Amino acid sequence: MEVKVISPVDKVLVQIKGRVDTTNAAQFQEELTFIMQGDMKDIELDCSELEYTSSQGLRVFLMLQKAVQGRGGKMVLTHMQTQVKEVFDITGFSNIIKIL
Amino acid sequence: MKKRYDPISGKSGAIIEDVMATPEVDTLPFDLNMRIRLCVEEVVENVVQYAYEAGAGYMQVETTLKNGVWSIVFEDAGVPFNPLDKEDPDITLSVEERPIGGLGIFLCKQMMDHLEYNYEDGCNRLIMEKKIN
């Protein structure tokens, strides 16, 4: 799993690569803490190279959504691969997190 | 293929990768492989984290592919726990209402065709089956 922050100022663009699973979900959460605790209101998570997320990764996505939405911001997940989208669909996350 | 892992404490990542590397799993198509990885991860993590109060104990995993049905049996001798008893989460709740977590076994139920739990001879056994087209 690799997290790359492209622009950390007005619009935050983050690329997520590889697998988010039980072995690295804590690290994933830590690397995105700046979004949860910051005041940025325009967040894009590029998921084109996210291959897999388990329920451990979903926890972090929901925490992010709660934090960003709670301060009136918008978060969007883009270019999601089919098998990852399936997990978001099954859990109803597709209805509460914007996926483009 | 049947494999026994002991000790398991702190080894969920290694156990998951070992199960995923067995021929019965490794040869499956990509999308199926990913679904199975999800289920294996959920169960292995649960057992490693919660099955043994003292932290020490084994876990056994058996995978078979027969008559178009892929199956996996997880066994441990920890505290009796039926993960299938857990109520399904309400996936229609809003962002504010949704609790963090509680999706693991629900995902397994959705991904697999059949799940079964039994407790016999001091062992938890969780069986999952998936039809292979």
Structural domain including A37 reads: 2-99
Summarised one tens digit per residue, pLDDT across range B11-70 is 999 999 999 999 989 989 988 999 999 999 999 999 999 999 876 899 999 999 999 999
- CATH topology for the B2-131 domain: Heat Shock Protein 90 (3.30.565)
Contact between residue A26 and residue A15 where contact means Cβ atoms under 8 Å apart: no
Return the residue matching tokens 């996936």.
Answer: B91
Contact between residue A99 and residue A86 where contact means Cβ atoms under 8 Å apart: no
Q: Name every chain B residue with its beta carbon within 8 A of the beta carbon of A92.
A: 91-93
Residue B59 carries which DSSP code? E
Summarised one tens digit per residue, pLDDT across range B50-60 is 999 876 899 99
| CB spacing of A22 vs B12 below 8 angstroms | yes
| CB spacing of A87 vs B30 below 8 angstroms | no
Contact between residue A96 and residue B98 where contact means Cβ atoms under 8 Å apart: yes
| CB spacing of A21 vs B31 below 8 angstroms | no
Kindly report the CATH number assigned to the domain that includes residue A59: 3.30.750.24
Segments making up each domain of chain B, as ranges: 2-131
For chain A, what is the domain count?
1
Judged against a pLDDT cut of 80, whether residue A6 lies above it is answered with no
Q: How many angstroms separate the CA atoms of B129 and B3, rounded?
A: 18
- Residue A90 identity (one-letter amino acid): I
- Residue B127 identity (one-letter amino acid): I
Q: What ipTM describes this predicted complex?
A: 0.90
